[in-house]
Structure 1
Amino acid sequence: MAAIPTNLRQIESLVEIVARLRGPDGCPWDKEQTHESLTQYAIEETHELVEVLEYPSGALKDQKMKEELGDVLFQVVLHAQLASERGAFTLEDVISSIAEKLLRRHPHVFGDTKVEDSAEVVRNWDEIKKAEKAATQTGAAPVSPYALNVPPLPALQRAYKIGKRTEKLAFDWEDAEGAMNKVEEEFAELREAIDEGTDEQVQAELGDVLFSLAQLSRHLDLEPEQILRRGNVKFETRFNKMVELAAADGVDWGSLSMDDKDKYWVKAKEILRGK
């Protein structure tokens, strides 16, 4: 086994390691990868990091966060390595680009702009971002200031962002009650589609329900993506506890009736609530 470089913590060492993995005598798996084939790993590693970020504070969170940040960094360096191999850009270019962006978008820190609070910082950021986009659209058709221009994101998060954008454009419900009424309206239309409609109509109405739920979350000042992640964890924890209880009773899970499983579900719920 080769000795681990003493300067492994340095970015230069990481870049050299990734280049070696992609080299003639490198790793077959790494050598086969493309930007496209790595897409799923970028998503997975980012989601694993997000999950750790929501851990309770403590040594375990810090350790896991360090590991997951490293995995995300590896993805960044690997994509930069692929790009450098075809002469597109290098990791140095990536770092320079984000450094320049931070300098431009923080004139209240690196310039003479004065701000009163974080809300003004966000407004300035949006204005600077808008100006940057306009400057790069040379020869292209002008984009309407009322266009949504919401970036590609996971579907639930994008629905939330779309709502934030339409809110700024004064196309929104006045309060959470209005959003709640819309949710109920969409549920009624979904039920009608399930009872009498086609598969396509059911899909469309279910999409409307999910979108309206994201907007209700927004009006309640809650992030729907975060809420669903926590809901997933809650369900998984309760399900695993339910199976654990059945095993402790010497019961074969597969042989249980649905009624018996429901009883274990309720028991698991009560135990976890008592924690």
Structure 2
Amino acid sequence: MSLVNTRGLLELMARLRDPETGCAWDVKQDFYSLIPYTIEEAYEVADAIERNDFQDLRAELGDLLLQVVFHSRIAEERGLFDFEQVAAGISEKLVSRHPHVFAGVKFETDQQRQQAWEDAKARERQQKNTENKPESVLSGVAKSLPALVACEKIQNRAASHGFDWPDTEPVFDKVEEELREVHEAWQSGDQAHVQEEVGDLLLVVVNLARHLKVNPEIALKEATKKFTRRFNYIERQIQATGRQLRECELAELDSLWHEAKQVQKNAHSGGS
């Protein structure tokens, strides 16, 4: 039987979770056991996009959708909520966060639109605050996010409430200040202090990226890929001589590094 629509997928998951006739592995899963799979599937979606493999993207989006259906089914079994409520919830959120599309509101600038988005999210967080306790504007950022992503989100929240540099130039000055403090901490020999100052440096670099409208997570990923390509070039050149990397002087490796940069630059510009 071919089950290709959403209802069919939900029925398929219900059958897999049936204690009597379902799959033993699927039956024993719970919210917590699925966490690593959910995270992995989200990263595999991102990987397919970065590789421009859209056939794989379709498959990976299906795998990610399966995780949503799986969690929703577990919740339904426990009487918490079901998939329909999940879909209704995100639909309501989209309407609430896009008054310029659904309510005739006019925004003159991207900044106004972004501020309205942040205000809508703040209202949603307040609605979740059933005890009506004072809530920080930084509340609700998932603790399991990658550090760079969490840092950017927190800084965006603070900036949306006025805690931000008015322009970009002072952020460059702050980066230089934090770098000097890292150097001073290193000279002191206090490793705990070094770690603290390196953290401060990374935080302000994320802030600089935000001001430059650069996604720090993507920027670091691309830089790591570039480093890997250049290092692979060095490895190939050394292997061609029958030697190992450890047998080479740093000066030779550094020279090959600069050669790799030039080769990649030529390739990128269409040169030979």
What's the TM-score once normalised by structure 2's chain length? Answer: 0.81
Query: In structure 2, what residue type is equivalent to 1:87?
Result: G
The question of 1:196 aligning with 2:188 is answered yes
1:70 Cα deviation from its structure 2 partner: 1.8
SS of 1:88's equivalent in the other structure is coil
1:210 Cα deviation from its structure 2 partner: 0.6
Query: In structure 2, what residue type is equivalent to 1:39?
Result: I
Query: How many positions carry a matched residue from both structures?
Result: 263
The residue aligned with 1:163 is 155
1:197 Cα deviation from its structure 2 partner: 4.0
SS of 1:47's equivalent in the other structure is helix
Structure 2 runs not aligned, ≥5 long: 268-272
Q: Which has the higher contact order (CA 8 A, sep 6+)?
A: 1
Q: How do 1:1-275 residues align onto structure 2 when only pairs under 5 Å count?
A: 5-7=1-3, 9-24=4-19, 25-55=21-51, 60-116=52-108, 118-143=110-135, 147-149=137-139, 151-152=141-142, 153-247=145-239, 249=240, 251=242, 253=244, 256-259=247-250, 260-275=252-267
The residue aligned with 2:270 is none
1:264 Cα deviation from its structure 2 partner: 4.4
- State percent identity of aligned pairs: 38
Query: In structure 2, what residue type is equivalent to 1:128?
Result: A
Per-residue deviation, residues 223-269 of structure 1 (Å, max 9, x unmatched)? 1111111112212222334334444x263546643535445444433
2:243, 2:14 → 1: CA distance? Answer: 51
Per-residue deviation, residues 172-216 of structure 1 (Å, max 9, x unmatched)? 334333112211221222222223243321221111011011111
Alignment RMSD (CA, Å): 2.8
What's the TM-score once normalised by structure 1's chain length? Answer: 0.80
Query: In structure 2, what residue type is equivalent to 1:257?
Result: C
Say whether the 8 Å CA contact 1:35–1:82 is kept in structure 2: yes
Segment drifting more, 33-42 vs 204-213 = 33-42
1:86 Cα deviation from its structure 2 partner: 1.8
Per-residue deviation, residues 75-95 of structure 1 (Å, max 9, x unmatched)? 211211222222212112211
2:107, 2:192 → 1: CA distance? Answer: 50
2:44, 2:92 → 1: CA distance? Answer: 28
1:225, 1:65 → 2: CA distance? Answer: 20
Mark the CA change 1:32 to 1:189 in structure 2 (over 3 Å): closer, same or farther.
farther
